Chain A
Amino acid sequence: MAGAGGGNSDVQWCFSQVKGAIDDDVAEADIISTVEFNHSGELLATGDKGGRVVIFQQEPETKNQPQCRGEYNVYSTFQSHEPEFDYLKSLEIEEKINKIRWLPQKNAAQFLLSTNDKTIKLWKISERDKRPEGYNLKEEDGRYRDLNTVTTLRVPVFRPMDLMVEASPRRVFANAHTYHINSISVNSDCETYLSADDLRINLWNLEINDRSFNIVDIKPANMEELTEVITAAEFHPNQCNTFVYSSSKGTIRLCDMRASALCDQHAKQFEEPEDPNNRSFFSEIISSISDVKFSHSGRYMMTRDYLSVKIWDLNMESRPVETYQVHEYLRSKLCSLYENDCIFDKFECCWNGNDSVVMTGSYNNFFRMFDRGYRQDVTLEASRENSKPRSVLKPRKVSTGGKRKKDEISVDSLDFNKKILHTAWHPLDNIIAVATTNNLYIFQEKLN
């Protein structure tokens, strides 16, 4: 059964694979910026700062090793976005892939949406394993034959060839966002999707790329009165009329597109009052929500702010039903984290297949899992040192008090350059993909 347990002693996580360069000198273009499984879990897509998309495919399980789920190998690599220059504003547009979202599969081909700051593209990834041979008028290399030499006719046939995976851009959705796109989300109707930037959310039809509808606009009439921006948005997993968007103020608004064309008036607003005892210079920063994800059931949603993960019941707006502290020991370090810009890191979060466990990243290449049922949590590390095949990951602990126990790491020893911002959980199995700066780690549940 998928996703059962996670943080408790039932599930142990093993190293499976690591993708990416080994050397410590990280090329900026190789920095992974998004990770996403497709709906079956067979494909795993990553986007990087250089605008490339790399898709891994899971090998079918072999009879030789039934205990081990298939490995992920490179399936397709393509350049999704290139750097652009906005001449009007004299601004360079980064090619960094901010988000990838898979479309549900309808035929043999796979489709995904990838976006940078300004432009969304729909890519078709298709396989070609046959090619036609035996043309009458053409040679095998494509040159046209001299007609005088054609004395017989034959019917061209398809012959097998080495598998070739082609990625082709089918749609380009451009020029709809003034501000930086932070989210895209495919609707459950499989016809539309939304894209969100700092101040606006647009609704697109997947077939139509020259028009979009603006459904949320929080830009104030006077920009001087700006107090919050949109940080993430997502469609409900099964209600095609419902979506949520989170803000930098720590609020989540749920909107119903049936209510009106412009969803500035939210149907629900989820907000937890701030604890006045925790007020600091950085209260606004750490309350800014960096990610919002619906549970697969659609009953709950999860938000990630700088220090915590919160689970919200859609039926209760006043406060989250669960709150998990990711790295509370950083609360006293906020000043330093502000100076080195780490406080602006946008961590993502994800659910497991049956919504019983949630996962998010932290620093020092640590990532955390919270088991909602058993109320347990675990800290694991993605590092090359634990990268022997099928080696079990040992839980890590950060010591916060004065006395550091053996095997614990002190807060001051944490490497804040090693951060895990992007994680993904296989929709059906206990397989997780964890992105460090430029490496992708795949861990699997230890099967006996």
Chain B
Amino acid sequence: MISTMECGADAQNLISISLMKIHNSRTQRGGIKLHKNLLVSYVLRNARQVYIKEKYAEIYRMQQYEEVMTVCNEIQELDPLDLDAEDDEEHARTACCGEGASPCGSVCHRGAAQPAAHARTASAVFGCASLEEDTREPDPSYYRSCCMEASPAPHCDQLPASGSAHCNKTTVLDLDTHVVTTVENGYLHQDCCCDAPPLGQGAQTPAKKRKVEPGCYVSDVEEISDFTAARKRAKREDCSYHSLDYTDTSNISNLISIFGSGFSGLLSRQADLEQICSKQVLASLGAWTRAIVAF
């Protein structure tokens, strides 16, 4: 259990500081220092773990939690394959699970094989992203359509055959401008389709259950994120925002691509749920953009 009382360390602040360090390491003389970046990634992971725990503790106290659970259960019961296509599903399909060069999932990784958890997470995250984007019309079908698109077996078969999905695309979806930026990194089809159904089943471990929840609750409780974020904002110093003031989408993409060469400590199979919430963290960190940052 990480002590959060040390120095009044703020998990969000540490996350932003760590990202800045990773970003700066690109321009340092002598090239990226593997050792230092590895250590920074550990801090990032630890901060994220703490943030998730804090976040969930808050959420548990919310009255809306009951409603969230209700929505979650509804979504879980739905069979993705039975859904009808809708207009915004088209958009989602294009944006989400396109083939080939189309951007797909949101978990990013450079190069080689990626644990399935990443894909799972990313798909769930993207579900979140989609839902968040559709806050005007919170529509579970948006999320489902993502899964539906990815689920057909032939589609999956086209993917690199591997026990763990090989993600090689990074996508940043700017929810404000609906601009999708892709870095040739990871994609998640295989895991998206393979793993989505199990998520909807009952009798899950707490970890799995939590994995589903963000995808469920985000659409309905985006205002919760805002609310908690606002509260956090009130507490935190402004510098944590300012440290993320490089708000260009291109800079974010750069950040992601930097971090895409990241480390397993961030993306272990056990940490997929944390990954969802790290994105939530960053989404709620500021209104400068609603981009979902994928690591």
> Given A281-B43, A338-B43, are A91 and B31 neighbors across the interface (CB < 8 Å)?
yes
Question: Is B263 a contact of A226 with CB atoms below 8 Å?
Answer: yes
Q: Is B235 an interface residue (CB 8 A)?
A: no
Question: Is B264 a contact of A225 with CB atoms below 8 Å?
Answer: yes
Q: Which of the candidate stretches B71-79, B106-114, B244-252 sits at the interface with the other chain?
A: B106-114
Q: Which of the candidate stretches A18-26, A162-170, A282-290 sits at the interface with the other chain?
A: A282-290
Q: Is B205 an interface residue (CB 8 A)?
A: no
Question: Is B35 a contact of A248 with CB atoms below 8 Å?
Answer: yes
Q: Is A339 an interface residue (CB 8 A)?
A: yes
Residues of A within 8 A of B61 (CB): none
Question: Is A344 a contact of B46 with CB atoms below 8 Å?
Answer: no
> Given A92-B30, A226-B264, A288-B39, are A279 and B1 neighbors across the interface (CB < 8 Å)?
yes
Residues of B within 8 A of A339 (CB): 17
Residues of A within 8 A of B1 (CB): 276, 279
Shortest Cβ distance from B260 into A: residue:
A224
Rounded to whole angstroms, the CA-CA distance of A227 and B268 in the bound complex is 11
Q: Is A180 an interface residue (CB 8 A)?
A: yes
Q: Is A325 an interface residue (CB 8 A)?
A: no
Residues of B within 8 A of A221 (CB): 112
Question: Is B112 a contact of A198 with CB atoms below 8 Å?
Answer: no
Q: Is B29 an interface residue (CB 8 A)?
A: yes
Q: Is B230 an interface residue (CB 8 A)?
A: no
> Given A281-B43, A338-B17, are A229 and B6 neighbors across the interface (CB < 8 Å)?
no
Shortest Cβ distance from B47 into A: residue:
A281
B21 to chain A, nearest CB (A): 8
Question: Is B33 a contact of A227 with CB atoms below 8 Å?
Answer: no
How many A residues are at the interface, by size bracket? Answer: 35 or more
A182 to chain B, nearest CB (A): 8
Report how many A-B pairs have Cβ atoms within 8 Å: 106
A117 to chain B, nearest CB (A): 6
Residues of B within 8 A of A231 (CB): 35
> Given A91-B31, A180-B34, A339-B17, are A281 and B46 neighbors across the interface (CB < 8 Å)?
yes
Rounded to whole angstroms, the CA-CA distance of A395 and B111 in the bound complex is 54
Question: Is B262 a contact of A224 with CB atoms below 8 Å?
Answer: yes
Q: Is B2 an interface residue (CB 8 A)?
A: yes
Question: Is A282 a contact of B30 with CB atoms below 8 Å?
Answer: no
B:243-278 near A, CB below 8 Å = 261-265, 267
Question: Is A285 a contact of B43 with CB atoms below 8 Å?
Answer: yes
Q: Is A109 an interface residue (CB 8 A)?
A: no
Rounded to whole angstroms, the CA-CA distance of A182 and B113 in the bound complex is 29
A349 to chain B, nearest CB (A): 18
Rounded to whole angstroms, the CA-CA distance of A137 and B14 in the bound complex is 75
Question: Is B6 a contact of A335 with CB atoms below 8 Å?
Answer: yes
Rounded to whole angstroms, the CA-CA distance of A279 and B34 in the bound complex is 23
Residues of A within 8 A of B2 (CB): 279-281, 283
Residues of B within 8 A of A332 (CB): 6-7
Question: Is B29 a contact of A92 with CB atoms below 8 Å?
Answer: yes
Shortest Cβ distance from B14 into A: residue:
A281
Q: Is A179 an interface residue (CB 8 A)?
A: yes
Selected from A89, A224, A228, A341, the residue in CB contact (under 8 A) with B31 is: A89
Residues of A within 8 A of B31 (CB): 89, 91-93, 117, 180
Rounded to whole angstroms, the CA-CA distance of A116 and B21 in the bound complex is 23
Proximity string of chain B (10-44) to chain A, C-beta cutoff 8 Å, 1 when within and 0 when not:
01001001000100000001110111101100110
> Given A335-B6, A338-B17, are A223 and B265 neighbors across the interface (CB < 8 Å)?
no
Q: Is A79 an interface residue (CB 8 A)?
A: no
Proximity string of chain A (278-317) to chain B, C-beta cutoff 8 Å, 1 when within and 0 when not:
0111111100100000000000000000000000000000
Question: Is B109 a contact of A285 with CB atoms below 8 Å?
Answer: no
Q: Is B85 an interface residue (CB 8 A)?
A: no
Question: Is B263 a contact of A222 with CB atoms below 8 Å?
Answer: no
Shortest Cβ distance from A282 into B: residue:
B43
Shortest Cβ distance from A95 into B: residue:
B30
B10 to chain A, nearest CB (A): 9
Residues of A within 8 A of B207 (CB): none
Q: Give the one of A199, A221, A282, A344 with max B CB within 10 A.
A: A282
Proximity string of chain A (242-274) to chain B, C-beta cutoff 8 Å, 1 when within and 0 when not:
000000100000000000000000000000000
Q: Is B3 an interface residue (CB 8 A)?
A: yes
Question: Is B263 a contact of A224 with CB atoms below 8 Å?
Answer: yes
Rounded to whole angstroms, the CA-CA distance of A288 and B30 in the bound complex is 21
> Given A94-B30, A180-B34, are A248 and B7 neighbors across the interface (CB < 8 Å)?
no
Q: Is A201 an interface residue (CB 8 A)?
A: no
Q: Is A333 an interface residue (CB 8 A)?
A: yes
Rounded to whole angstroms, the CA-CA distance of A179 and B35 in the bound complex is 10
Q: Is B9 an interface residue (CB 8 A)?
A: yes
Question: Is B3 a contact of A223 with CB atoms below 8 Å?
Answer: no
Question: Is A222 a contact of B39 with CB atoms below 8 Å?
Answer: no
> Given A92-B31, A94-B29, are A227 and B265 neighbors across the interface (CB < 8 Å)?
yes
Q: Is A238 an interface residue (CB 8 A)?
A: no
Q: Is B50 an interface residue (CB 8 A)?
A: yes
Interchain Cβ contacts under 8 Å between A and B, 6 examples? A91-B31, A92-B30, A180-B35, A224-B263, A281-B14, A281-B46
Q: Which 5 A-B pairs have the closest CB atoms?
A: A335-B7, A284-B42, A94-B30, A91-B31, A225-B264
A interface residue numbers (CB < 8 A to B):
89, 91-94, 96, 117, 179-180, 182, 198-199, 221-229, 231, 248, 276, 279-285, 288, 332-336, 338-339, 341, 344
